[in-house]
């Protein structure tokens, strides 16, 4: 090991190159031990893990030194009545925020007591939007017209790059001499960003050759990936999912210790008016909490919580009862690829019955999205109830959260 330390110190060997000379597990150990020596600290806990290192260093991370641990709890049973997810599920939640699992669990109780949440996927398409430079606005219009007239050629080109994905079309956007094409794809059980990026790059080459436009970037931020954006809220990205539940006045009192009218008022004044006054792109109580926690547990790209949490929560009084729904326009999930093959994340997906590819293809990712949406609904119900009953601070204090 001293031989490698000396080379790392004098710069003849780079930290990222250790796997070229050592087996992955040994490379991770050398890298971590070198940092411990250089910084005078212990990384022993980071060095304790159970995942398949060979897979991780090849597909998920560079310069690996170990792994951090996040506690995982379960909320449930959560009764779901979807087109792909039907039955009761225990939702894996990876979080360091005390009271979150308890909160979601209470919402799950209400949903299950009410007979289960209805949930439907309205749209399902992953996007990538390259940006092209044109000579002038006349040329920009010519480029848009050319792409519009060559949809079948573009479809064949895109689908030649993947054995799973399908090209669904594109929408053009022009800003001065910049032209953006928001390509849309069906990526089946994969979240699909790698798939659509590779296909979009090939499509861009065809457009360049056919129009004389110059590709500036394969992602022009009209996608819009990992950034708050109204286009995702309006047009959707990934899966657009809606889940709702009718709660009787008696059930609201039993589980949440408040009234239906109070839930509706909290939602109106907090989630709708408060969010509008703040200029928020999310009109909800805590959707990001549930989306992020399930994403972490199940090997999703955590940065997609930006789009996944752009949720609108609605509450409609029906006599003494209330109907509460969540609309998630841009929920991006996958059950194959990315972090879904890591051992602990794969186990969490297996807990939900969605690990790996579904039969038919795409059914596992859709089932997963429906379960997450119902989990978000559970979280919204619980927090609205806690605020309505003025129990929020008390719950955090009781669970020892400062």
Whether 248 and 192 map to the same domain: the answer is no
Map tokens 């500036």 to a residue. Answer: 216
Kindly state whether residues 288 and 372 are assigned to the same domain: yes
Catalytic position from the list 150, 164, 391, 396:
396
197 C-beta neighbours (distance < 10 Å), count: 18
The Cα–Cα gap between 362 and 187 comes to 8
What span, in angstroms and rounded, lies between the C-alpha atoms of 291 and 359?
A: 25
User: Where among 53, 69, 85 does a domain terminate?
Assistant: 69
Residues 349 and 304 in one domain: yes
**Both 180 and 274 in a single domain?**
no
**In this structure, are 271 and 298 located in the same domain?**
yes
| CATH assignment at residue 376 | 3.90.770.10
- Kindly state the tokens that stand for 206: 């065809």
In-domain check, residue 287: yes
Residue 295 lies inside a defined structural domain of this protein: yes
Residue 65's CB: how many other CB atoms inside 10 A?
19
Q: Within this chain, do residues 197 and 138 fall inside the same structural domain, yes or no?
A: yes
> Model-level pTM?
0.94
pLDDT score, position 402: 47
Does one domain contain both 36 and 80? Answer: no
- The pLDDT value recorded for residue 398 is 55
Indicate if 246 and 317 belong to the same structural domain: yes
Residues 272 and 339 placed together within one structural domain of the fold:
yes
Give me the helices (H) in 160-239, please. Answer: 193-211, 230-235
Tens digits of pLDDT across the chain (402 residues): 888 999 999 999 999 999 999 999 999 999 999 999 999 999 999 999 999 999 999 999 999 999 999 999 999 999 999 999 999 999 999 999 999 999 999 999 999 999 999 999 999 999 999 999 999 999 999 999 999 999 999 999 999 999 889 999 999 999 999 999 999 999 999 999 999 999 999 999 999 999 999 999 999 999 999 999 999 999 999 999 999 999 999 999 999 999 999 999 999 999 999 999 999 999 999 999 999 999 999 999 999 999 999 999 999 999 999 999 999 999 999 999 999 999 999 999 999 999 999 999 999 999 999 999 999 999 999 999 999 998 754 555 555 554
Range of the domain at 203: 130-217
- Is 150 annotated in the active site? no
Of the residues 26, 36, 52, 97, which is catalytic? Answer: 97
Q: Mark whether 113 and 151 lie in a shared domain.
A: no
Contact present, 236 and 125 (Cβ < 8 Å): yes
Which residue, among 370, 363, 362, has the nearest Cα to 187 in the 3D structure? 362
CATH number, domain containing residue 157: 3.30.70.420
Distance CA 190, CA 335 (A): 6
Distance CA 82, CA 309 (A): 20
CB-based contact 185:168 (threshold 8 Å): yes
353 burial type by CB count under 10 A (0-12 exposed, 13-18 middle, 19+ buried): middle
Residue 320 within any structural domain of the chain: yes
In a domain, 278, yes or no: yes
Q: Which residue of the set 301, 316, 321, 347 is catalytic?
A: 301
In a domain, 256, yes or no: yes
| Catalytic annotation present for 301 | yes
Catalytic site includes residue 97: yes
How many domains is the chain built from?
3
Residues 63, 76, single domain; the answer is no
Nearest to 152 by CA among 171, 167, 132: 167
Query: Is residue 6 domain-resident?
Result: no
Q: Is 358 part of any domain?
A: yes
pLDDT at 164: 86
Q: Look at residue 3 and tell me if it is in a domain.
A: no
Q: Are residues 348 and 208 in the same domain?
A: no
Q: Measure the CA–CA gap between 40 and 315, rounded to whole angstroms.
A: 55
The residue from 182, 217, 252 where one domain ends is 217
């Amino acid at each position: 090991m001293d031989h490698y330390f000396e080379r790392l110190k004098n710069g003849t060997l780079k930290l990222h190159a250790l796997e070229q000379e050592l087996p992955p597990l040994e490379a991770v150990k050398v890298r971590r031990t070198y940092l411990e020596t250089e910084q005078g600290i212990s990384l022993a806990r980071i060095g304790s893990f159970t995942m398949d290192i060979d897979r991780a260093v090849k597909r998920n991370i560079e310069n690996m030194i170990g792994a951090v641990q996040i506690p995982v709890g379960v909320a449930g049973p959560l009764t779901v009545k979807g087109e792909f997810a039907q039955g009761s599920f225990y939702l894996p939640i990876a979080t360091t925020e005390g009271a979150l699992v308890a909160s979601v669990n209470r919402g799950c109780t209400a949903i299950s007591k009410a007979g289960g949440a209805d949930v439907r996927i309205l749209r399902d398409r992953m996007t990538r939007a390259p940006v092209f430079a044109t000579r002038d606005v006349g040329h920009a219009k010519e480029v848009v017209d050319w792409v519009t007239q060559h949809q079948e050629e573009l479809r064949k080109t895109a689908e030649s790059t993947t054995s799973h994905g399908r090209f669904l079309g594109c929408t053009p956007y022009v800003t001065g001499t910049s032209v953006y094409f928001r390509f849309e794809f069906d990526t089946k059980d994969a979240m699909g960003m790698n798939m659509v990026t590779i296909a979009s790059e090939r499509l861009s080459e065809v457009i360049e050759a056919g129009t004389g436009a110059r590709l500036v970037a394969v992602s022009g931020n009209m996608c819009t990936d990992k950034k708050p954006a109204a286009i995702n809220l309006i047009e959707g990205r990934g899966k657009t999912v809606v889940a709702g539940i009718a709660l009787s006045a008696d059930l609201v009192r039993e589980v949440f210790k408040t009234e239906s009218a109070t839930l509706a008022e909290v939602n109106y004044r907090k989630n709708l008016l408060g969010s509008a006054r703040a200029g928020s792109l999310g009109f909800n109580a805590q959707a990001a909490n549930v989306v992020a926690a399930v994403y972490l547990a199940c090997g999703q790209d955590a940065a997609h919580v930006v789009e996944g949490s752009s949720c609108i929560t609605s509450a409609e009084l029906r006599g003494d009862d209330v109907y509460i729904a969540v609309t998630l326009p841009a929920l991006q999930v996958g059950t194959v690829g990315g972090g879904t093959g890591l051992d602990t994340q794969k186990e969490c997906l297996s807990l939900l019955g969605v690990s790996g590819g579904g039969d038919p293809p795409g059914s596992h990712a859709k089932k997963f999205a429906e379960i997450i949406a119902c989990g978000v609904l559970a979280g919204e119900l619980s927090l609205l109830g806690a605020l309505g009953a003025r129990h929020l601070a008390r719950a955090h204090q009781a669970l020892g959260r400062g």
